[in-house]
Amino acid sequence: MDYRFPLYGYDPRGIVEAKPRTLSPRLTGLHGVRLAVLDNAKMKAGKLLSYTTEILNEEFKFSQVNTYVKRGFSYTATPEMIEQIASGNDAVITAIGD
């Protein structure tokens, strides 16, 4: 092999192009909020999220808890699911449960 300079390589990071977006305003508290629970479909994620939601709900008394399940852990949430979560909830929790 010839290792003379310059060496060239592949940069696996690629280029991401995204429009800047403003962040949602920070919540002043969690009491009475509509909570979205996003399950990534990993084997124990649902159990972890269910248990976590139960504990949090005891303290914060959410007005609603809405659960969403992605197609699989290696898939992103669909744009429709993201829109549904954003329009119908005030806060979101998610977790990886291996």
**Peptide bond between residue 6 and the one before it cis (omega within 30 degrees of 0):** yes
Q: What is the reported pLDDT for 11?
A: 75
- CA–CA separation, 67 and 49 (whole Å): 9
Give the start-end residues of each E strand in 3-86. Answer: 34-39, 64-69
Q: What is the reported pLDDT for 3?
A: 61
Q: What is the reported pLDDT for 14?
A: 78
pLDDT < 50 positions in the chain: none
96 within 8 A of 45, measured Cβ to Cβ = yes
* pLDDT tens sequence across 38-58: 999 998 899 999 999 999 999
Q: What is the reported pLDDT for 12?
A: 79
